[in-house]
Amino acid sequence: MVIDKISVVIPTLNRSDLICRAVNSALCQTFKDIEVIVVIDGPDEATSAALKQIEDERVRVLALKENVGGSDARNAGVRAARFGWIAFLDDDDQWLPEKLQRQVNFARGLNNPLPVICCLLIARTEVCDYVWPKKLPNPTQHISEYLFVRNSFTTGHGEAWLQPSTLLIKKQLLEAVPFKSGLKKHQDSDWALRAALHEGVSFEFVTEPLAIVYFSAQRKTVSSNYNWKYSLDWLRESRNLFTPKAYSGFVATQIALEASRKRQWSSFVSLFGEMYRFGRPRLFDIAYYMGMWFVPTSLQFKIRHIFNKYGRTK
């Protein structure tokens, strides 16, 4: 499979202090045949002004008249793309210089018609750097089980993750399976689950970290918003995309995390029952669920740090 040109899509809003770092990391790629489409998701004069400082004809700015959200901003970038392959980059992340070239080289050995070409990432925190994900999908494994069936006490992202800034995807696939309009959370997971149903799709990994994803306790993100009821509604609406095992895993590791952070004890019993309502929980899921509620948050962070730094999964 030959990839000759790539469109880079960067959605952004109110990140004028970060957007230039992301754009420059795309422009500094050793793979030069790219265009960079920055989608400003609504009125944002500061970001527009920051981007004017970048003098490179490969950069195109698409300023939306109103805020439409991350999913629709990405879809707008895909529609505007002139090339047949799309690489997404979040505005607060950055790429290592060889990121695209490594994925292009990797693609030459693939025969699948619609591969989603991923890579590992460096998760950069105030404490230290981690390399995620720690496990790769099994070709015969349902994508929902790869994403949500945990086998270690890493963070939800650390064990398995398909992060937008690591993906290289055919425009053809993104046109057939766009990001779900209006979705406030779980945008990347929702897309991966639906894309996996499309004929010819496979998830392939370059097994080296080629992107840096920043995690800051001070910066609010969509994923850091502990709106567990929204997550539960999304799970129920998307139940056909999950295996029973993955359904239970999502409740145990994602929704329980969000609800326990809010100290919503009134939901403890109902969410525990949700694991059995449509799922098939394992002993590990039950233990993880209990830990979210009864293990102090500070101790949870220490345990996760140990598993993220030293743990290995199969």
Burial of 156 (0-12, 13-18, 19+ CB in 10 A): middle
Q: Can you list the domains of the chain with their CATH numbers?
A: 6-214 (3.90.550.10), 228-310 (no CATH)
Chain centroid to CA 5: 23
Element (H, E) at 269: helix 268-277
Instruction: Record the pTM.
Output: 0.92
Q: What is the pLDDT of residue 314?
A: 38
> Could you report the per-residue pLDDT of 184-225, keeping only the tens digit for each?
999 999 999 999 999 999 999 999 999 999 998 665 555 545
- pLDDT recorded at residue 11: 98
- DSSP β-bridge partners for residue 117: 168, 204
Nearest partner of 37 among 23, 21, 18, judged by Cα: 23
Splitting the chain (314 residues) into consecutive groups of 10 residues, what average pLDDT does each group show? 97 98 98 98 98 97 97 98 98 98 97 96 92 92 96 73 97 98 96 97 97 80 70 98 98 93 93 96 95 79 61 44
The predicted-structure confidence for 69-91, as pLDDT tens digits, reads as follows 999 999 999 999 999 999 999 99
Give CA angle at 177 (28, 209), nearest 5°.
35
**159, amino acid identity:** E
Which alpha helices (H) appear in 186-267, and where do they start and end?
Answer: 187-195, 228-237, 244-250, 256-261
Counting Cα atoms < 13 Å in the Cβ hemisphere of 37 gives 24
Closest among 156, 186, 145 to 300, alpha carbons compared: 156
Beta strands in the chain (DSSP E): 6-12, 34-40, 59-63, 85-88, 93-95, 114-124, 129-132, 168-170, 201-214
- 3-state class (DSSP) for residue 35: strand
Which pLDDT belongs to residue 312?
43
Residues 231, 228: Cα–Cα separation, whole Å: 5
Cis peptide before 133 (omega within 30 of 0): yes
